Structure 1
Amino acid sequence: MRVVAVVALIALTGCGGEASKPGNLVGAAEETEADPVDDGKADCRIGGAEEWARDCMVERAGEMLTIRHGDGGFRRFRVLADGRGLEAADGAEVAVVKIVGDQQIEVAAGADRYRLPAQIAGGR
Protein backbone atom coordinates (compact mmCIF):
# COMPACT_ATOMS: atom_id res chain seq x y z
CA MET A 1 0.00 0.00 0.00
CA ARG A 2 1.26 3.50 -0.81
CA VAL A 3 2.39 5.73 2.06
CA VAL A 4 1.16 9.31 1.96
CA ALA A 5 2.95 12.09 3.83
CA VAL A 6 0.86 15.03 4.95
CA VAL A 7 3.15 17.91 5.85
CA ALA A 8 2.19 19.59 9.11
CA LEU A 9 4.21 22.78 9.10
CA ILE A 10 1.57 25.30 10.19
CA ALA A 11 3.12 25.74 13.65
CA LEU A 12 6.50 26.67 12.19
CA THR A 13 7.32 30.36 12.03
CA GLY A 14 10.25 32.39 10.77
CA CYS A 15 10.72 34.50 13.87
CA GLY A 16 12.66 31.87 15.82
CA GLY A 17 10.18 31.79 18.70
CA GLU A 18 8.93 28.64 20.33
CA ALA A 19 5.80 27.02 18.99
CA SER A 20 3.02 27.38 21.54
CA LYS A 21 1.82 23.83 21.73
CA PRO A 22 1.88 21.46 24.68
CA GLY A 23 4.78 19.06 24.89
CA ASN A 24 7.21 21.28 22.99
CA LEU A 25 10.70 19.92 23.56
CA VAL A 26 12.54 23.23 23.03
CA GLY A 27 15.39 23.35 25.50
CA ALA A 28 15.25 19.61 26.22
CA ALA A 29 18.63 18.01 26.65
CA GLU A 30 17.98 15.30 24.10
CA GLU A 31 15.92 15.25 20.91
CA THR A 32 14.98 12.11 19.03
CA GLU A 33 14.15 11.59 15.39
CA ALA A 34 10.74 10.27 16.46
CA ASP A 35 9.87 13.59 18.15
CA PRO A 36 10.91 16.52 15.96
CA VAL A 37 10.82 19.98 17.56
CA ASP A 38 8.53 22.71 16.20
CA ASP A 39 10.65 25.77 17.01
CA GLY A 40 10.64 27.55 13.65
CA LYS A 41 13.89 25.88 12.61
CA ALA A 42 14.78 22.84 10.53
CA ASP A 43 17.71 20.47 10.63
CA CYS A 44 19.60 20.99 7.39
CA ARG A 45 22.70 20.07 5.40
CA ILE A 46 23.45 22.88 2.97
CA GLY A 47 25.64 22.46 -0.09
CA GLY A 48 26.46 18.85 0.64
CA ALA A 49 27.72 19.48 4.19
CA GLU A 50 28.58 16.28 6.05
CA GLU A 51 26.91 17.22 9.36
CA TRP A 52 23.29 18.14 10.09
CA ALA A 53 22.81 21.53 11.78
CA ARG A 54 19.64 23.07 13.22
CA ASP A 55 20.23 26.51 11.74
CA CYS A 56 17.73 26.86 8.88
CA MET A 57 14.71 29.09 9.58
CA VAL A 58 11.30 27.96 8.30
CA GLU A 59 8.55 30.37 7.24
CA ARG A 60 5.05 29.36 6.13
CA ALA A 61 2.68 31.70 4.26
CA GLY A 62 -0.38 29.83 3.00
CA GLU A 63 0.81 27.04 0.72
CA MET A 64 4.31 28.52 0.38
CA LEU A 65 7.14 27.29 2.60
CA THR A 66 10.46 29.17 2.64
CA ILE A 67 13.55 27.69 4.27
CA ARG A 68 16.28 30.26 4.92
CA HIS A 69 19.93 29.24 5.22
CA GLY A 70 22.37 30.82 7.66
CA ASP A 71 24.39 32.27 4.76
CA GLY A 72 21.39 34.22 3.40
CA GLY A 73 20.39 31.69 0.74
CA PHE A 74 16.95 30.12 0.71
CA ARG A 75 14.67 27.58 -0.96
CA ARG A 76 10.94 27.89 -1.56
CA PHE A 77 8.54 24.97 -1.65
CA ARG A 78 4.82 24.60 -2.27
CA VAL A 79 2.86 22.48 0.23
CA LEU A 80 0.73 20.13 -1.87
CA ALA A 81 -2.95 19.90 -0.96
CA ASP A 82 -3.18 16.26 -2.07
CA GLY A 83 -0.99 15.06 0.82
CA ARG A 84 2.12 14.16 -1.23
CA GLY A 85 4.26 16.62 0.72
CA LEU A 86 6.20 19.41 -1.00
CA GLU A 87 7.37 20.44 -4.45
CA ALA A 88 9.93 23.06 -5.49
CA ALA A 89 8.20 26.41 -5.97
CA ASP A 90 10.95 27.94 -8.07
CA GLY A 91 14.33 27.08 -9.52
CA ALA A 92 15.36 24.26 -11.80
CA GLU A 93 15.98 21.59 -9.17
CA VAL A 94 13.22 19.15 -8.27
CA ALA A 95 12.38 18.51 -4.60
CA VAL A 96 12.56 14.86 -3.56
CA VAL A 97 10.63 13.94 -0.39
CA LYS A 98 11.20 10.79 1.64
CA ILE A 99 9.95 9.62 5.02
CA VAL A 100 12.76 9.33 7.58
CA GLY A 101 10.79 8.76 10.80
CA ASP A 102 7.30 8.38 12.22
CA GLN A 103 6.84 12.15 12.26
CA GLN A 104 9.54 13.44 9.94
CA ILE A 105 10.31 13.83 6.25
CA GLU A 106 13.54 14.69 4.47
CA VAL A 107 13.36 17.08 1.52
CA ALA A 108 16.28 17.15 -0.94
CA ALA A 109 16.77 19.88 -3.54
CA GLY A 110 20.11 19.86 -5.31
CA ALA A 111 22.87 19.47 -2.70
CA ASP A 112 20.64 20.80 0.12
CA ARG A 113 18.77 18.55 2.58
CA TYR A 114 16.11 19.49 5.15
CA ARG A 115 14.36 17.44 7.86
CA LEU A 116 10.85 18.67 8.65
CA PRO A 117 8.08 17.53 10.98
CA ALA A 118 5.17 15.78 9.23
CA GLN A 119 2.08 13.73 9.94
CA ILE A 120 2.42 10.42 8.13
CA ALA A 121 -0.82 8.80 6.99
CA GLY A 122 -1.47 5.44 5.33
CA GLY A 123 0.00 1.99 5.70
CA ARG A 124 3.08 0.28 4.33
Structure 2
Amino acid sequence: MRGLSKNARSILPLLVLAGCSSEQPIVPPVAEGTEHVACAVDGETELADACAVERTDEDGKLVLVIRHPGGAFRRFAVLTDGRGIAVADGADEAATRLDGGALEVTVGDDRYLFPATLKPGGESTGGADAR
Protein backbone atom coordinates (compact mmCIF):
# COMPACT_ATOMS: atom_id res chain seq x y z
CA MET A 1 0.00 0.00 0.00
CA ARG A 2 3.08 2.14 -0.07
CA GLY A 3 2.74 4.89 -2.60
CA LEU A 4 -1.05 5.10 -2.30
CA SER A 5 -2.62 8.29 -1.03
CA LYS A 6 -4.48 8.28 2.26
CA ASN A 7 -7.80 8.47 0.37
CA ALA A 8 -6.87 5.53 -1.86
CA ARG A 9 -5.89 3.45 1.20
CA SER A 10 -9.24 4.21 2.88
CA ILE A 11 -11.29 3.18 -0.16
CA LEU A 12 -9.34 -0.03 -0.90
CA PRO A 13 -11.17 -2.13 1.75
CA LEU A 14 -14.52 -0.99 0.33
CA LEU A 15 -13.50 -2.12 -3.15
CA VAL A 16 -12.51 -5.52 -1.79
CA LEU A 17 -15.90 -5.86 -0.06
CA ALA A 18 -17.73 -4.77 -3.20
CA GLY A 19 -15.90 -7.45 -5.15
CA CYS A 20 -17.07 -10.08 -2.66
CA SER A 21 -20.70 -8.99 -2.80
CA SER A 22 -20.95 -9.51 -6.57
CA GLU A 23 -20.78 -13.29 -6.11
CA GLN A 24 -23.99 -15.28 -6.42
CA PRO A 25 -25.75 -15.78 -3.08
CA ILE A 26 -25.47 -19.24 -1.60
CA VAL A 27 -28.76 -21.09 -1.96
CA PRO A 28 -29.57 -23.55 0.81
CA PRO A 29 -29.99 -27.14 -0.41
CA VAL A 30 -33.38 -27.48 1.30
CA ALA A 31 -36.10 -24.88 1.91
CA GLU A 32 -36.80 -24.16 5.56
CA GLY A 33 -39.86 -26.01 6.86
CA THR A 34 -41.02 -29.16 8.60
CA GLU A 35 -42.67 -30.92 5.64
CA HIS A 36 -40.98 -31.36 2.25
CA VAL A 37 -41.78 -32.72 -1.20
CA ALA A 38 -39.46 -33.76 -3.99
CA CYS A 39 -38.86 -31.02 -6.52
CA ALA A 40 -36.58 -29.97 -9.35
CA VAL A 41 -36.50 -26.16 -9.61
CA ASP A 42 -34.16 -23.37 -10.71
CA GLY A 43 -32.67 -25.38 -13.56
CA GLU A 44 -32.19 -28.62 -11.61
CA THR A 45 -33.01 -31.83 -13.45
CA GLU A 46 -32.97 -34.33 -10.58
CA LEU A 47 -35.80 -34.44 -8.06
CA ALA A 48 -34.76 -33.96 -4.42
CA ASP A 49 -36.76 -33.55 -1.19
CA ALA A 50 -35.87 -29.85 -1.11
CA CYS A 51 -39.15 -27.90 -1.32
CA ALA A 52 -41.03 -27.05 1.87
CA VAL A 53 -44.82 -27.38 2.03
CA GLU A 54 -47.13 -25.05 3.95
CA ARG A 55 -50.85 -25.83 4.11
CA THR A 56 -53.32 -22.97 4.30
CA ASP A 57 -57.10 -22.72 4.21
CA GLU A 58 -58.52 -20.14 1.83
CA ASP A 59 -62.31 -19.84 1.80
CA GLY A 60 -62.65 -23.44 2.97
CA LYS A 61 -60.28 -24.81 0.32
CA LEU A 62 -56.87 -26.33 0.93
CA VAL A 63 -53.98 -24.40 -0.67
CA LEU A 64 -50.41 -25.67 -0.68
CA VAL A 65 -47.61 -23.11 -0.67
CA ILE A 66 -44.46 -24.78 -1.99
CA ARG A 67 -41.29 -22.93 -1.02
CA HIS A 68 -38.17 -23.42 -3.14
CA PRO A 69 -34.69 -23.55 -1.54
CA GLY A 70 -33.79 -20.23 -3.22
CA GLY A 71 -36.77 -18.39 -1.69
CA ALA A 72 -39.26 -18.49 -4.59
CA PHE A 73 -42.62 -20.17 -4.06
CA ARG A 74 -45.69 -21.46 -5.87
CA ARG A 75 -49.26 -21.80 -4.65
CA PHE A 76 -51.41 -24.79 -5.58
CA ALA A 77 -55.13 -25.31 -4.94
CA VAL A 78 -56.00 -28.87 -3.95
CA LEU A 79 -58.94 -29.96 -6.10
CA THR A 80 -61.67 -32.18 -4.70
CA ASP A 81 -62.97 -33.49 -8.02
CA GLY A 82 -60.21 -36.09 -8.46
CA ARG A 83 -57.98 -34.04 -10.77
CA GLY A 84 -55.28 -33.43 -8.13
CA ILE A 85 -54.03 -29.84 -7.87
CA ALA A 86 -53.97 -26.67 -9.94
CA VAL A 87 -51.87 -23.51 -9.87
CA ALA A 88 -53.60 -21.09 -7.48
CA ASP A 89 -52.13 -17.94 -9.05
CA GLY A 90 -49.95 -16.88 -11.95
CA ALA A 91 -50.30 -17.42 -15.66
CA ASP A 92 -48.63 -20.83 -15.94
CA GLU A 93 -50.76 -23.96 -16.14
CA ALA A 94 -49.92 -27.12 -14.22
CA ALA A 95 -49.45 -30.36 -16.14
CA THR A 96 -50.12 -33.38 -13.92
CA ARG A 97 -49.28 -37.06 -14.27
CA LEU A 98 -50.14 -39.83 -11.86
CA ASP A 99 -47.19 -42.18 -11.30
CA GLY A 100 -47.99 -44.96 -8.83
CA GLY A 101 -48.61 -43.34 -5.45
CA ALA A 102 -47.34 -39.93 -6.54
CA LEU A 103 -48.67 -37.00 -8.52
CA GLU A 104 -46.01 -35.36 -10.68
CA VAL A 105 -46.80 -31.70 -11.33
CA THR A 106 -44.91 -29.59 -13.88
CA VAL A 107 -45.26 -25.81 -14.02
CA GLY A 108 -42.95 -24.11 -16.50
CA ASP A 109 -39.47 -25.53 -15.86
CA ASP A 110 -40.28 -26.63 -12.29
CA ARG A 111 -41.37 -30.15 -11.29
CA TYR A 112 -42.87 -31.36 -8.03
CA LEU A 113 -43.75 -34.83 -6.76
CA PHE A 114 -46.66 -34.98 -4.31
CA PRO A 115 -47.90 -38.04 -2.45
CA ALA A 116 -51.33 -38.94 -3.83
CA THR A 117 -54.19 -41.32 -3.20
CA LEU A 118 -56.64 -42.45 -5.84
CA LYS A 119 -60.29 -41.71 -5.34
CA PRO A 120 -62.68 -44.57 -6.04
CA GLY A 121 -62.86 -44.75 -9.83
CA GLY A 122 -59.70 -42.64 -10.08
CA GLU A 123 -58.02 -45.13 -12.40
CA SER A 124 -60.65 -44.63 -15.05
CA THR A 125 -60.58 -40.84 -14.79
CA GLY A 126 -56.88 -40.47 -14.11
CA GLY A 127 -57.69 -38.38 -11.06
CA ALA A 128 -55.79 -38.14 -7.81
CA ASP A 129 -56.03 -36.14 -4.63
CA ALA A 130 -52.90 -34.53 -3.21
CA ARG A 131 -52.63 -35.07 0.53
State TM-score, norm by structure 2: 0.61
Give 1 or 2 for the bigger CA radius of gyration. Answer: 2
Alignment partner, residue 116 of structure 2: 118
Residues 47-69 of structure 1: per-residue CA shift (max 9 Å, x gap): 34121111100111121111000
Moved over 3 A (4+): none
Say whether residues 1:56 and 2:55 are aligned partners: no
Determine the C-alpha separation between the residues in 2 that align with 1:48 and 1:106. Answer: 17
Selected match of 2:37 from 21, 42, 49: 42
Identical amino acids, percent of aligned pairs: 44
Residues 68-116 of structure 1: per-residue CA shift (max 9 Å, x gap): 0000000001111212111111111001111011x21101111000001
Matches within 5 A, 1:29-108: 40-62=35-57, 63-101=62-100, 103-108=101-106
Determine the C-alpha separation between the residues in 1 that align with 2:78 and 2:102. Answer: 15
CA drift of 1:15 comes to 3.8
State TM-score, norm by structure 1: 0.65
Secondary structure at 2:46 match in 1: coil
Matches within 5 A, 1:22-33: none
Determine the C-alpha separation between the residues in 2 that align with 1:91 and 1:111. Answer: 14
Determine the C-alpha separation between the residues in 1 that align with 2:40 and 2:33. Answer: 21
